[in-house]
Amino acid sequence: MPRFALTLEFHGGPFMGLQRQPHGPTLQRAVEDAALAVTGEIVTLHAAGRTDAGVHALGMRAHFDLVREFDPFRLGEALSALMRPQPIAVLDCRLVQDDWHARFSCTGRAYEYRIANRRAPLTLEAGLAWQVRRPLDVFAMHDAAQELVGLHDFTTFRSVHCQSASPVKTLDRLAVRREGDHVIIEANARSFLHHQVRSMVGCLALVGEGRWKRTDLADALKAKDRCKLGLNAPAEGLYFVRATYPGE
């Protein structure tokens, strides 16, 4: 059976998340329905990440299997066309080995969080960034973020609905920088817990506002208690940037 790997870009606002739900539209259902219309086959989409409602993607990797052969370029073009006007685009479609898996073969995931640090209301970026009106000290945020880098028990930064077998994860990189009136937080790891990035960003924003210090963030991490979380950032500022695989 040919296996097709997709690279998807999407605006998460209209969806209930990536994974198929019994109520409301999801990214998985949109792609699977488009694949059925194009190929006449029922497929199951597997993705590198299970993004929440409102979370966006610049390069989500996913795959599905078909019985018949299709030209990858034409298949990707047809899927994009059939999903209009939903805000989903197939950036790339290619044949891969049948043992390649979008989720289980993935060796790294990168997220980006965008904060619009300004007082004026958002217009063009409404739903695409978290607006924080108070000035943020990005140097303090980046310095504090280093407390979270490495192997830790991230229970404090884990949703109560997280299905991961363990709260222990290795965070490879957490960096904060400013671009004009935007604060960008980049997070890299092999895998993340449910809400981990949003929870880390929320606490870093408290540091940036001067309401928390680096030691407060360290104490929250050591507490291993979700009740010690300072703030969970909203979904609209979060982007799945890329997934990495051996040989790529």
Q: Tell me which of 33, 52, 65, 92 is the catalytic residue.
A: 52
Is 105 exposed, middle or buried, given 0-12, 13-18 or 19+ CB atoms closer than 10 A? buried
Are 93 and 79 in contact, with CB atoms under 8 Å apart? yes
Closest Cα to residue 174, out of 160, 159, 192? 192
Tokens 């500022």 locate to: 237
- How far are the Cα atoms of 26, 33, 167 from residue 95, in angstroms, in the given order? 24, 20, 35
Respond yes or no: is residue 71 known to be catalytic. no
Instruction: Give the three-state DSSP class for 205.
Output: helix
Q: Where in the sequence numbering do the catalytic residues fall?
A: 52
